[in-house]
Structure 1
Amino acid sequence: MTAQTVPSTSLRTRLLHDSDPVVLTLTIGFILLFVGASLVDADYVAGLIGAGFTWTAKYLGSFFQFLLLMTFFVAIGTAISRAGRARIGGMDKPEIGRFRWLSMIMCTLLAGGGVFFAAGEPVYHFVVTPPAFNTEPGSAAAIAPALAQSFTHWGFLAWAVLGSLTAVVLSRAHYSQGQPLQPRTLLYPVLGERVVSGRLGGVVDAACVIAVVAGTVGPIGFLATQMSFGLHELFGVSDGYGTQLIVLAILAGVYMTSAMTGLHRGIQLLSRFNVLLALAIGLVIFLFGPTLFLTDVYFQSMGEYVTSFFSMATLTAQTAPDWWMKWWTVFFFAWFIGYTPLMAVFVSRISRGRTVRETILAVAVMAPIATTIWFTLLGGSGIYHQLAGSFDLTEALNGFRFDVATLTVAQALPGGTWMAAAILLLTTIFVATTGDSMSYSIAMVGAGHDEPEPWVRVFWGGAMALMAAILLYMGAGQIGVLQQFIVITAIPVSLIILPSLWTGPRAALALADEQGLS
């Protein structure tokens, strides 16, 4: 019998053997409960989650903003201190080469949503002025504020919370103190052994896994709808559930295979290919598109981002419309918080041998700058054509039809249909890199060690794809409901990562002391 024909009893045995029973029970229970309740009464589920989403955004939005701001500044302070020279993982040199390492970091968050918003979000803020500004919508003066607002959502604050301080805490506790590489370990410096060995730890891990499942199933499902729509518009393929299911099956096959082969093969290979493809597309857009416009706009927008940094990051419901805060800043910030513990697990695992300074600066500075460049290339091109009258995306974006925006902008880029097809391929692989890294991370959380069973990784990847397929059968709206749920899951997760504001610098200093760095 080959490895590819492992019977279900063997998979079940491996899953039970290599997974925490509390994590497994609560996570599978959530998936079954959400899908089952949606099948019974989708409107009731949507209403219940919508009410929780609104309450969370209204009463905890400012707390989420505070958490991201403090994480960024404390992380940068830690990186430039003497503790920044300490190495992670007890290794004298990095386990993974720099380009491969950066590729794996870049392809995780950007794939989690940035590819869906890079073309449409800047254009949206161009035609609907963000609350922090008073420029005339659709005017030349609105260009820099539009991109700056997008940078706020996908820039330094977003990246820093995902894998800077939390990754340092996990790395020290795991590699130096022998604690498991699980979200519960983030609370080890505060609560001690009881959170690691007790049932509380299982509940902590389960809350973090559920947040990631909610945050990952959304992009997987939305990719299927976007690809189906794109293939229909470009090549006349039928746009329906059948096409969505085929796309979903291909996507799941790619990221499950990648997750199964592990960090040093599939995940690295997929990430490197994706980064190279993104670089090629970006180069074509820059050289053959409105080069001078994009160059000028990038520097203007970065200047606006820096000068208006605090005014955009600290907007509240008192100074901005409730609906705007709920669907933009608070939604994104809560989404990133929900991803944080498992992203920290992933960053810690791939950063062995890197210094604390390298890790923090790569995650909190280099990756955000690359993201702002990508948003400028796609979103800036969209603004250029919107301003020139080549198309008008106002109606589509007011309806949050980002699939229409992405395809419309892509077709206006150099290469037309071929560029649009390349961007659809890039989007697919980006989402696949999220699927493989999160499947791997969920399996690590369940197992509590660095090398979870390959078939357990496949199981979690398959479970998310199956959940997306069922929800798509009910309509894309139910995928959106699940996306709203991640804002609610950010409540417990935010409390789990909050101690890293002080335990992160302490862990870095402890590593420096252990390594004799003065």
Structure 2
Amino acid sequence: MLTTKMNPRVFWGASLIIGLLLVVAIAAPGQSDRVFQTVQAWVIDTFGWFYVAAVAGFLGLALVLAVGPTGALKLGPDDAEPDFPYLSWLAMLFAAGMGIGLMYFGVAEPIQHFVSPPEGEPRTFAAAREAMGITFFHYGVHAWAIYALVGLSLAFFAYRKGLPLTLRSGLSPLLGRRINGPIGDAVDIFAIWGTAFGIATSLGFGVSQMNSGLTYLLGVPNNAWVQIGLIAAVMAAATASVMTGVGKGVRRLSELNLTLAVLLMLFVLAVGPTGFLFKALVQNFGFYLSHLVERTFTLYAYEPRAWMADWTLFYWAWWIAWSPFVGMFIARISRGRTVREFILNVLLVPAGFTFLWMTVFGNTAISLDMGQAQGAISAAVSADLSTALFHFLEQLPGAAITSTLAILLVAVFFITSADSGALVIDTIASGGADDTPRWQRVYWCLLLGLIAALLLLAGGLGALQAATLGAALPFVVIMVLLCVGLVRQMNADVAGRVIETEGPPLAEQLKRILAPASRRDIDRQIERNGAPALETVREGLAAEGLGAEVERDADGVSLTAPVVGGRDFHYRLTARERPRPALTALDAPERKRAMEWRLSARSDDGPRPRDITGFTREQIVADVLEHLHRWRTG
């Protein structure tokens, strides 16, 4: 009998929606392709403005939260310290910006805009400058603002408010206890739906590029059936990593992959027009900044063109669909950071590396195409985007070696994306749990491969793009609501910080930094802060004529308050042992991690305990009052 750790409504609800779409793709591949294209056209015509306005709003809000008073809030208790040293954290953010997208579009996108710009004469120096500006725009701070806000919502409510690490938690300021009902289930279902199609789109790009590379090197046919075979092979490797628990091996392989990708970039930088590339990087960045506001709001409303749907709107939808995946990764590594530190680094570090990558590959490709290649690279890109990188490498020394390396890079990015994507989806489907049965991760891993394969059969990459645009639409609405909930809760926390609070003694703060909390540490916090906080609330309720009681026992302390209509409100503080948090998507499962003790709060307005380790007396009082209010109004 299979053991489970899931929210059945979310797990099977998301599976049903995805399954229905796949049945349509299987039953009538030609017709389903037309349906996908029709849906894409409808979404663009009806909601294209909404995508553009929403992404502009996300960037603006991220900057406001970073520079305003909310920027000083911690992702965790006020005295929380970061889980990682600053440079290690930056390195992981740097890794988060690398993936199949940069391998596929590093050459293809700049060349495509160079030969087919949205406006102006193609194949000119002005077109080259415009091509790099557009590429920077699509991979710049707008994409990372989307990831930053989703990651911020996950980290803020999980580490500061003790709620599960899942999307619905971000709506708790708006919905209260109802996040644990059908509305919360719908939020998580849409998050899974969008994430699944976003990852499937990346897998589609990856397998298309792998097929083109094998065709270039070995003469392998380039068609949908070969690509499905590649999907099966790579997904088998990803499934094996799930089944055999080789997460550490895959993690080391992905770290090696990142190193090799950087070496490939440095090789192109060294053998390409090095001096020109450094000058181009500076000018590209200046051009990007000078046109940032104009491009942010450009919709070509007066001169409609298909270019907008094929590029900018697709990218915005793709980033939105990917946001739970990347957001959960950066949330897991960012406990203890301030909001300001989190947002500014998430916006700037990965985008900065991406700008360097796109300049090295994009500007070199354009320079070669205008010179020694005599248009061969642009001709290949116009025929098939997936061949761009290999025709580009053909113009440089050691093409066979670098092309083989590129195929391996894409394959490992493919494996780690599928493995980590399955983990993230399963975490959402299991209410924030990260120690779920292996069969659940295998299930999602196989389903991701099935989505990519069937949509490739149904209509190729066009069907994947159309499905991504449609799947991201409901999640845009959810993201807007997440932003409202985040702002409301952060403003409440900022207002609460006006009260002078007594932090833990220096010795306790140092111990918490240097070692996980012990049971004695948590018992001491209950005695020093927890019990007095509950007594303060009891006295306040007594002044209002409500006979609340505070009871102590060997495990903790509880408050019981008669609120209305005979319904008592219960709030309990206990010491709880748990595995140390997972820090990356490929970390060891819970049962194999070291243990630590945490201060846990449980109240009647929610079914799950919350981690409030490090809360001061005043913060615990505020937490009791917040949940008492939800109990009365929920």
1:86 aligns with one of 58, 73, 78: 73
- State the distance in 1 between where 2:221 and 2:25 align: 26
1:188 and 2:172 are equivalent in the alignment: yes
- State the distance in 1 between where 2:87 and 2:252 align: 11
TM (normalized to structure 1)?
Answer: 0.87
Unaligned runs of 5+ in 1: 1-8
The one-character-per-residue Cα deviations of 1:182-230 (angstroms, maximum 9, x if unpaired) are 2222322222221x21122112211111111111112223322321221
Does the 8 A contact of 1:208 with 1:342 survive in 2? no
1:169 aligns with one of 150, 153, 156: 153
- State the distance in 2 between where 1:516 and 1:449 align: 32
2:54 aligns with one of 60, 67, 79: 67
Deviation at 1:454, TM superposition (A): 5.0
Farther off after superposition, 296-305 or 111-120? 111-120
From the two aligned structures, give the one with the greater helix fraction.
1
Equivalent positions of 1:412-431 (< 5 A) are 412-431=395-414
Map of 1:292 onto structure 2: 275
1:495 and 2:477 are equivalent in the alignment: yes
Number of equivalent positions: 497
SS of residue paired to 1:18:
coil
Farther off after superposition, 378-387 or 446-455? 446-455
The one-character-per-residue Cα deviations of 1:441-461 (angstroms, maximum 9, x if unpaired) are 101101112423151223211
1:95 and 2:56 are equivalent in the alignment: no
Does the 8 A contact of 1:267 with 1:436 survive in 2? no
Equivalent positions of 1:369-448 (< 5 A) are 369-390=352-373, 391-399=375-383, 401-448=384-431
> Structure 2 counterpart of 1:125, which letter?
H
Does the 8 A contact of 1:294 with 1:376 survive in 2? yes
Map of 1:146 onto structure 2: 131
The one-character-per-residue Cα deviations of 1:127-162 (angstroms, maximum 9, x if unpaired) are 12233xx3x321123222110101111111011112
Map of 1:214 onto structure 2: 197
Does the 8 A contact of 1:103 with 1:275 survive in 2? no
Map of 2:447 onto structure 1: 463
Deviation at 1:73, TM superposition (A): 2.3
- State the distance in 2 between where 1:429 and 1:517 align: 51
Map of 2:334 onto structure 1: 351
- State the distance in 2 between where 1:92 and 1:260 align: 35
Map of 1:481 onto structure 2: 463
Q: 1:337 to 1:470 in 2, by over 3 A?
A: closer
1:122 and 2:106 are equivalent in the alignment: no
Map of 2:45 onto structure 1: 58
Map of 1:324 onto structure 2: 307
- State the distance in 2 between where 1:99 and 1:182 align: 27
- State the distance in 1 between where 2:153 and 2:453 align: 36
1:37 aligns with one of 17, 21, 24: 24
Deviation at 1:257, TM superposition (A): 5.2
Does the 8 A contact of 2:217 with 2:400 survive in 1? yes
Does the 8 A contact of 1:75 with 1:165 survive in 2? yes
> Structure 2 counterpart of 1:171, which letter?
A
- State the distance in 2 between where 1:152 and 1:70 align: 16
Map of 1:178 onto structure 2: 162
Map of 2:612 onto structure 1: none
- State the distance in 1 between where 2:307 and 2:55 align: 19
Does the 8 A contact of 1:119 with 1:405 survive in 2? yes
Does the 8 A contact of 1:119 with 1:378 survive in 2? yes
- State the distance in 2 between where 1:150 and 1:489 align: 24
> Structure 1 counterpart of 2:451, which letter?
M
> Structure 1 counterpart of 2:412, which letter?
I
Deviation at 1:239, TM superposition (A): 4.3
The one-character-per-residue Cα deviations of 1:110-143 (angstroms, maximum 9, x if unpaired) are 4253321111100111112233xx3x32112322
Identity across matched positions, percent: 28
Q: 1:39 to 1:236 in 2, by over 3 A?
A: same
Deviation at 1:320, TM superposition (A): 4.5
Q: 1:489 to 1:106 in 2, by over 3 A?
A: farther
TM (normalized to structure 2)?
Answer: 0.72
Farther off after superposition, 321-330 or 179-188? 179-188
Deviation at 1:319, TM superposition (A): 4.1
2:8 aligns with one of 21, 46, 49: 21
Unaligned runs of 5+ in 2: 501-634
SS of residue paired to 1:118:
helix
Does the 8 A contact of 1:261 with 1:267 survive in 2? no
Aligned-residue Cα RMSD (Å) equals 2.8
1:233 and 2:220 are equivalent in the alignment: no
- State the distance in 2 between where 1:41 and 1:168 align: 41
- State the distance in 1 between where 2:150 and 2:499 align: 22
SS of residue paired to 1:412:
coil
Q: 1:516 to 1:274 in 2, by over 3 A?
A: farther
- State the distance in 1 between where 2:204 and 2:87 align: 30
SS of residue paired to 1:233:
helix
- State the distance in 2 between where 1:371 and 1:453 align: 34
The one-character-per-residue Cα deviations of 1:251-286 (angstroms, maximum 9, x if unpaired) are 224444556788983564344223212221111111
Does the 8 A contact of 1:58 with 1:322 survive in 2? no
Q: 1:265 to 1:99 in 2, by over 3 A?
A: farther
Does 1 or 2 have the higher relative contact order (CA < 8 Å, sep 6+)?
A: 1
- State the distance in 1 between where 2:185 and 2:214 align: 43
Q: 1:157 to 1:446 in 2, by over 3 A?
A: same
From the two aligned structures, give the one with the greater strand fraction.
2
Farther off after superposition, 323-332 or 495-504? 495-504
Q: 1:281 to 1:478 in 2, by over 3 A?
A: closer
Deviation at 1:505, TM superposition (A): 4.2
Map of 1:5 onto structure 2: none
Map of 2:297 onto structure 1: 314
> Structure 2 counterpart of 1:220, which letter?
L
Map of 2:318 onto structure 1: 335
- State the distance in 1 between where 2:170 and 2:325 align: 11
SS of residue paired to 1:95:
coil
Does the 8 A contact of 2:273 with 2:364 survive in 1? yes
Q: 1:296 to 1:264 in 2, by over 3 A?
A: same
- State the distance in 2 between where 1:19 and 1:252 align: 23
Deviation at 1:431, TM superposition (A): 2.9
Deviation at 1:510, TM superposition (A): 5.2
Does the 8 A contact of 1:79 with 1:360 survive in 2? yes
Deviation at 1:76, TM superposition (A): 2.1
